[in-house]
């Protein structure tokens, strides 16, 4: 692993992953962050490493074939970690199209460029030989499996059964990645992780939204009865799992990632209120969203047994640390809620040299 392309590195998990790699992985010569800076991309997440000589930011769209091809030519990537996506289920219900183009076509654009660049005989359609040590990792989600009843867990063999336009687009992308492995022999992995929490999460998602609203004594909107169960994992544990798959994962395999931390949304909201010393009367039940999956739970036996990965955070420590992080970064949250964060790119990068 020398030259890494990270897509969507200005988002929540991608920015945590870039920090993780620059801190933990010695074998990084160059890490390029390709991000379109949609509303969800925030370069302030990476402020502390922007002068690291191993790191470079490129503003661009993963669906832009010429740009992606040019980046492969210029930087000779051997590793791709693909995070970039439209990621918010609520938005996918209102505006499905951008989820399909970004999440499916964007994935195919990256796969095509990687295939062209890595294949030993790019012109030979029967050849399945690739350069040594190259790997494409697709960051997927447990939501592709659909919903569970009161019992059971998702394994890597659970049939895909997505219920929202978001999860349908992610499942479709997974199928495209699988097909490139089966048809062209591409060296790929897919990881399917449960719900993440931690620093730098955009405040439209459950945990940062509830912390923000509670701090401002605003209503805490809870969908339906609040008994939707998610399997929560600290984002740093997700990053270490992706790193483990990159270094030890068997080519062509799918790995589920989860922390065995099933919690109902309402339980999390109550926990946040208790930690902040705010009253439960702030909880406001709102009409449930259509197609809202009731329960997700990940069976992480494959990655723990075969690759030796395990999460380091307990939920109690992780959520406490996360609440403290948001309390210590109210300026970061305020700049997002006011829209100011989008000026950061203009101030920092507008005068940057264009891509050769």
Ligand X SMILES: NC(=O)c1ccc[n+]([C@@H]2O[C@H](COP(=O)([O-])OP(=O)(O)OC[C@H]3O[C@@H](n4cnc5c(N)ncnc54)[C@H](O)[C@@H]3O)[C@@H](O)[C@H]2O)c1
| Identified binder of ligand X from the candidate list 18, 36, 241, 246, rule CB under 6 A | 36
Residue 14 makes contact with ligand X by CB under 6 A: yes
Stretch near ligand X under the rule CB under 6 A, chosen from 58-66, 107-115, 297-305, 312-320: 58-66
Binding status of residue 162 toward ligand X by CB under 6 A = no
Residue nearest to ligand X (CB): 11
| Site size toward ligand X, by CB under 6 A | 31
Known catalytic membership, residue 20 = no
Please list every residue from 84 through 123 that binds ligand X, using CB under 6 A: 84-87, 102, 106
Annotated catalytic residue, options 145, 166, 313, 345: 166
Active site residue 143: yes
Query: Which lies closer to ligand X via its Cβ, residue 44 or residue 282?
Result: 44
Which whole-number Å values give the CA distances from 272 to 226, 267, 329, in the listed order?
14, 9, 16
What gap in Å lies between CA 229 and CA 213, rounded to an integer? 21
Cβ distance to ligand X smaller for residue 282 or 311? 311
Query: How many other C-beta atoms can be found within 10 angstroms of the C-beta atom of residue 287?
Result: 8
Alpha helix (H) residue ranges in the chain = 12-24, 65-75, 89-94, 96-100, 106-118, 165-184, 206-215, 235-248, 265-276, 301-307, 315-328, 330-338, 342-349
Position 160 contacts ligand X (CB under 6 A): no
What 3-state class would DSSP assign to 340? coil
Binding mask 120-139 for ligand X (x = CB under 6 A): -------------------x
The phi and psi torsions of 32 (rounded to 5 degrees) equal -100, 130
209 lies in the site for ligand X, by CB under 6 A: no
In degrees, rounded to 5, the angle at the alpha carbon of residue 156 between the alpha carbons of residues 155 and 161 is: 85
How far apart are the C-alpha atoms of 168 and 6, rounded to whole Å? 23
Question: Known catalytic residue: 223?
Answer: no
List of residues contacting ligand X (CB under 6 A): 7-8, 10-14, 34-38, 40-41, 61-63, 83-87, 102, 106, 139, 141, 170, 193, 195-196, 202
Residues catalogued as catalytic:
142-143, 166
């Amino acid at each position: 692993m020398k030259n890494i392309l990270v897509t969507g590195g200005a988002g929540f998990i991608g920015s945590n992953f870039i920090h993780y790699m620059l801190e933990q992985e010695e074998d990084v010569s160059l890490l390029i962050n390709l991000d379109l800076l949609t509303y969800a991309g925030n370069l302030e997440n990476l402020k502390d490493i922007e002068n690291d000589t191993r790191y470079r930011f490129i503003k661009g769209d993963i669906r832009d074939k010429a740009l992606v091809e040019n980046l492969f030519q210029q930087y000779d990537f051997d590793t791709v970690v693909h995070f970039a996506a439209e990621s918010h289920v609520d938005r996918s219900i209102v505006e499905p199209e951008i989820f399909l183009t970004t999440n499916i076509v964007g994935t195919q654009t990256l796969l095509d460029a990687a295939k062209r660049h890595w294949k030993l005989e790019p012109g030979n359609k029967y050849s399945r030989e690739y350069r040594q040590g190259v790997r494409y990792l697709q960051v997927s989600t447990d939501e592709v499996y659909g919903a569970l009843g009161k019992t059971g867990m998702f394994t890597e063999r659970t049939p895909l059964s997505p219920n929202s336009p978001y999860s349908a687009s992610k499942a479709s992308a997974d199928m495209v990645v699988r097909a490139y492995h089966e048809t062209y022999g591409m060296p790929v992995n897919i990881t399917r992780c449960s719900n993440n929490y931690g620093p730098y999460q955009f405040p439209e998602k459950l945990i940062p939204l509830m912390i923000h609203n509670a701090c401002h004594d605003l209503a805490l909107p809870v969908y339906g009865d609040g008994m939707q169960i998610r399997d929560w994992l600290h984002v740093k544990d997700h990053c270490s799992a992706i790193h483990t798959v990159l270094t030890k994962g068997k080519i062509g395999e799918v790995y589920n990632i989860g922390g065995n931390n099933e919690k109902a949304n309402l339980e999390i909201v109550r926990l946040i209120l208790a930690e902040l010393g705010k009253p439960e009367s702030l909880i406001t039940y709102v009409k449930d969203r259509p197609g809202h999956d009731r329960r997700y739970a990940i069976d992480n036996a494959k990655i723990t047994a075969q690759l030796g990965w395990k999460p380091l955070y307990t939920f109690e420590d992780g959520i406490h640390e996360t609440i403290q992080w948001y309390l210590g970064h109210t300026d970061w949250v305020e700049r997002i809620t006011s829209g100011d964060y989008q000026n950061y790119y203009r101030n920092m990068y507008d005068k940057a040299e264009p891509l050769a």
